[in-house]
């Protein structure tokens, strides 16, 4: 890991190494197999942030399943707008399916609450949430992730799919905003 990185006007320092993230992803894949194994699953990767996590997670999950992609936005800069904007809607029917939403980070829980309600209203039989990272202290919605990779501090981070104004996503490690 680099000691410091600069993205736009902000400086970030090391927080989670790729090895720790990889270990959590392998554990999550086993938890998903144990709880949902044998079902026909539809994994919905929430773009853009969850693309790295989803690719790594789904490569580890044993079984035959569907994968779809959707993109929503509720962030501007470093904070939530609490207004969900559908940028790229799902293009597969949800009727009767067991859906696993694959998300990079849950902080306020706003997006996941909206999506779980939306997918159930569109006919999904069950909706589960798998997140790489959870900021438990930031939650302000009645939502629980079913599969959590790592619980982290309520700080702004980049890397491993997470960005600051569209930069920093491709870092293999995760960095935290320098204080």
Give me the catalytic one of 9, 22, 64, 107: 107
- The verdict on whether 107 is a catalytic residue reads yes
DSSP per residue, the chain: --S-EEETTEEEEEEE-HHHHHHHHHHHHHHHHHHHTTS-EEEEEEETTTHHHHHHHHHHS-S-EEEEEEEEEEEETTEEEEEEEEEE---S--TT-EEEEEEEEESS-HHHHHHHHHHHHTT-SEEEEEEEEE-GGG--SS---SEEEEE--SS-EEBTTB-BTTBSTT-SSEEEE--
Q: Which residues are catalytic?
A: 107
């Amino acid at each position: 890991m680099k000691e410091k990185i600069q993205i736009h006007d902000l400086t970030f320092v090391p927080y989670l190494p790729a090895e720790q993230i990889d270990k959590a992803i392998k554990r999550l894949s086993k938890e998903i197999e144990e709880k949902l194994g044998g079902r026909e699953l539809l994994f919905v990767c929430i773009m853009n942030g969850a693309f790295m996590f989803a690719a790594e997670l789904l490569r580890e999950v044993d079984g035959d399943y569907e994968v779809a992609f959707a993109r929503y936005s509720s962030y501007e800069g470093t904070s939530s707008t609490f207004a969900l904007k559908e940028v790229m809607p799902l293009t597969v029917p949800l009727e009767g399916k067991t859906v696993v939403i694959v998300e990079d980070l849950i902080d306020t829980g706003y997006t996941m609450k909206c999506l779980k309600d939306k997918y159930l209203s569109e006919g999904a039989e069950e909706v589960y949430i798998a997140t790489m990272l959870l900021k438990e202290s930031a939650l302000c919605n009645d939502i629980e992730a079913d599969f959590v990779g790592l619980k982290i501090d309520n700080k702004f981070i980049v890397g491993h799919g997470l960005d600051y104004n569209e930069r920093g996503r491709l870092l293999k490690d995760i960095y935290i905003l320098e204080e």
